[in-house]
């Protein structure tokens, strides 16, 4: 007899990823080729499914080699203005699938930069350096922004003395973001800067924000957790940490093949959950594998 397994109904694709995948699937109808600028989702299992339908993952350097009028998909993470210029320059067809939450944030950063730059202001972004979303965000201001990955990097910031506007990548941990904002305020005070110069924007996606608390509750309510996510998923790393802190018997896997029988003890209640880039069908496969374990 297998273990009692529950899938977290609130895990899996966020609305932005669902929208991008539907956008791709619609474009792929009729065996058309679609070129995704970067992986549409950081999950190898889902990527394989879409590639079988005709989705091709390319890099920016490949744009100049595509046939004229080829369809280029801009994924949920978004892109900097320079990418759109390249797509137009090479006569390619744009398939815009950027998450509306990310688009709104791009616009806000650009507006804020326009407002504070004449006052010698600075844009600071709490996010993962080199992440596609982060590159798209700082691209709105020509790269004239400071990117910090954690609160310990606040001490390395060279302040200009003008206004400071703090934003976050949409998928970051809300608790860490708040701690970073507080650290920034205290650092400014210690350097003789007026803390009122700091303006903090709440730019973490509401779906991601609420998911941390819900996921911690889910992890605590089971004796063992299987967290399903691709190794490349930034959001996956953040959410798995939330699981691990709530339940030390949390294991990160990419697919059912990663499951080790040694993790389990008789009578375990197993919770299966995942990142915003994890398809629900994959969590169902993981649950089915555990059900059938002896």
- In this structure, the answer to whether residues 133 and 86 fall within a common structural domain is no
Question: What would the mean pLDDT of 8-21 be, rounded to a whole number?
Answer: 91
Going by pLDDT thresholds of 50, 70 and 90, the confidence category of residue 294 is low
Q: Flag whether pLDDT at 69 surpasses 90.
A: no
Q: Are 123 and 145 in contact (CB under 8 A)?
A: yes
Asked which of 98, 129, 156 is the last residue of a domain, the reply is 98
- In this structure, the answer to whether residues 69 and 162 fall within a common structural domain is no
Which CATH number covers residue 261?
3.40.1010.20
- In this structure, the answer to whether residues 78 and 164 fall within a common structural domain is no
Q: Are 247 and 225 in contact (CB under 8 A)?
A: yes
DSSP three-state, residue 70 = coil
At 221 the pLDDT is 97
Helix axes 206-220, 234-246, angle to 10 degrees: 30
Asked which of 80, 98, 116 is the last residue of a domain, the reply is 98
Count of structural domains, the chain: 3
pTM for this entry: 0.86
- In this structure, the answer to whether residues 30 and 84 fall within a common structural domain is yes
- In this structure, the answer to whether residues 111 and 185 fall within a common structural domain is yes
pLDDT tens figures, 144-202: 999 999 999 999 999 999 999 999 999 998 999 999 999 999 999 999 999 999 999 99
pLDDT tens figures, 242-292: 999 999 999 999 999 999 999 999 999 999 999 988 999 999 999 999 988
- In this structure, the answer to whether residues 184 and 229 fall within a common structural domain is no
What is the spatial distance between Cα 46 and Cα 230, in angstroms, rounded to a whole number?
A: 10
- In this structure, the answer to whether residues 65 and 106 fall within a common structural domain is no
- In this structure, the answer to whether residues 163 and 187 fall within a common structural domain is yes
Asked which of 159, 180, 204 is the last residue of a domain, the reply is 204
pLDDT tens figures, 114-143: 999 999 999 999 999 999 999 999 999 999
For tokens 């709440």, the residue is 202
**Active site (catalytic) residues:** 133
Copy the structure tokens of residue 69: 């009028």
What is the spatial distance between Cα 140 and Cα 62, in angstroms, rounded to a whole number?
A: 22
**Residue-range definition of the domain harbouring residue 34:** 15-98
- In this structure, the answer to whether residues 70 and 130 fall within a common structural domain is no
Going by pLDDT thresholds of 50, 70 and 90, the confidence category of residue 68 is confident
- In this structure, the answer to whether residues 53 and 132 fall within a common structural domain is no
- In this structure, the answer to whether residues 225 and 195 fall within a common structural domain is no
Going by pLDDT thresholds of 50, 70 and 90, the confidence category of residue 233 is confident
C-alpha 248 chain-centroid distance: 24
């Amino acid at each position: 007899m297998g273990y009692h397994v529950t899938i977290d109904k609130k895990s899996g694709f966020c609305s932005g990823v669902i929208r991008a995948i539907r956008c791709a699937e619609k474009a792929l109808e009729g065996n058309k080729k679609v070129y995704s600028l970067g992986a549409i989702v950081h999950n190898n299992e889902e990527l394989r499914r879409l590639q079988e339908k005709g989705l091709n993952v390319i890099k920016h350097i490949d744009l100049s080699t595509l046939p004229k009028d080829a369809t280029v998909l801009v994924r949920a993470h978004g892109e900097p203005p320079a990418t759109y210029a390249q797509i137009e320059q090479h006569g390619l067809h744009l398939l815009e699938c950027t998450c509306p939450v990310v688009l709104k944030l791009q616009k806000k950063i650009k507006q804020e930069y326009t407002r504070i730059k004449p006052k010698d202001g600075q844009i600071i972004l709490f996010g993962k350096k080199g992440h596609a979303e982060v590159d798209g965000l700082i691209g709105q201001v020509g790269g004239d922004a400071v990117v910090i990955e954690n609160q310990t990097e606040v001490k390395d910031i060279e302040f200009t003395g003008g206004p400071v506007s703090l934003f976050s990548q949409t998928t970051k941990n809300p608790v860490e973001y708040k701690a970073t904002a507080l650290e920034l305020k205290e650092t400014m005070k210690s350097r003789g800067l007026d803390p009122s110069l700091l303006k903090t924007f709440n730019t973490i996606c509401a779906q991601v924000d609420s998911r941390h608390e819900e996921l911690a509750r889910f992890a605590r309510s089971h004796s063992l957790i299987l967290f399903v996510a691709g190794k490349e998923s930034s959001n996956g790393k953040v959410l798995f940490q939330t699981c691990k802190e709530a339940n030390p018997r949390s294991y990160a896997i990419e697919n059912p093949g990663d499951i080790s029988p040694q993790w389990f003890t008789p009578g375990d209640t197993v919770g299966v959950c995942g990142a915003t880039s994890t398809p629900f069908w994959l969590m169902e496969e993981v649950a089915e594998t555990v059900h059938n374990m002896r």
